[in-house]
């Protein structure tokens, strides 16, 4: 919230996924114009909490025109696939279909894990975000990175057909 205040945004509120009841979480999220998801170093735990209480509300808010902002390590849960802390591939929130988002791609351990994941998901799109980056999703399917700009994109094995390529377009700002 401090980040938003520094940008001049009007005040917002925190939604505590553990302490508030599911109905209250749902009502607060569907009415939001901007939802900021921050993992605070707990990506696996955040994914479980979002699935349990908030994912339907977040999707509804996005359908109503909200901006969804995955800050830092939280960006890793936005894809269809998540690389868990133990390097297993799990299901993500699937805001980015057939995609795995990596937020630690600059570390040696992260690179090894990504190479292993690429072998298991040869047709998936991999996005590698720099530390300090965020992923912003808009209601019309917009995708942007905010913050540190270096982004690595791996589109999969070029010798295999990938349905995601048929609708892929790249624009420069």
State the pTM of this model. 0.77
Residue-wise pLDDT tens digits, 2-58: 565 566 555 566 777 777 788 888 888 888 899 988 877 666 677 877 877 788 889
CA distances from 98 to 47, 108, 159 (A): 17, 24, 17
* Beta-strand pair 125-129/133-137: unpaired
Residue-wise pLDDT tens digits, 66-87: 999 998 888 988 999 998 888 8
Residue 118 within a domain: yes
For residue 160 the two structure tokens come to 């295999």
CATH number of the domain enclosing 140: 3.40.50.880
Q: What is the pLDDT, as a whole number, of residue 96? A: 93
Residue 172 domain-assigned? no
- Name the residue range of residue 150's domain: 2-157
Asked if residue 100 belongs to a domain, the reply is yes
Looking at the domain assignment, is residue 164 inside a domain? no
Count of domains forming the chain:
1
Whether residue 165 is contained in a domain is answered as no
Q: Quick check: is 119 in a domain?
A: yes
pLDDT tens digits for range 117-172: 888 999 899 988 887 888 999 988 888 888 866 777 777 765 555 555 445 444 44
């Amino acid at each position: 919230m401090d980040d938003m205040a520094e940008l001049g945004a009007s005040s917002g509120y925190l939604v505590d996924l553990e302490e508030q009841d599911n109905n209250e979480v749902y009502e607060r999220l569907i009415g939001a114009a901007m939802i900021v998801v921050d993992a605070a170093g707990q990506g696996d735990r955040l994914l479980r909490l979002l699935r349990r209480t908030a994912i339907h509300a977040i999707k509804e808010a996005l359908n109503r025109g909200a901006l969804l902002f995955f800050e830092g390590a939280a960006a890793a849960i936005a894809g269809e696939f998540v690389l868990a802390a133990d390097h297993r591939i799990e299901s993500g929130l699937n805001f980015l279909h057939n995609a795995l988002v990596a937020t630690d791609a600059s570390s040696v351990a992260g690179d090894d894990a990504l190479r292993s994941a690429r072998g298991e998901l040869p047709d998936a799109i991999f996005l590698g975000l720099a530390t300090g980056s965020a992923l912003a999703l808009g209601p019309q399917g917009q995708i942007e990175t905010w913050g540190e700009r270096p982004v690595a994109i791996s589109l999969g094995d070029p010798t295999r057909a990938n349905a995601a390529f048929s609708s892929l377009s790249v624009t420069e700002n």
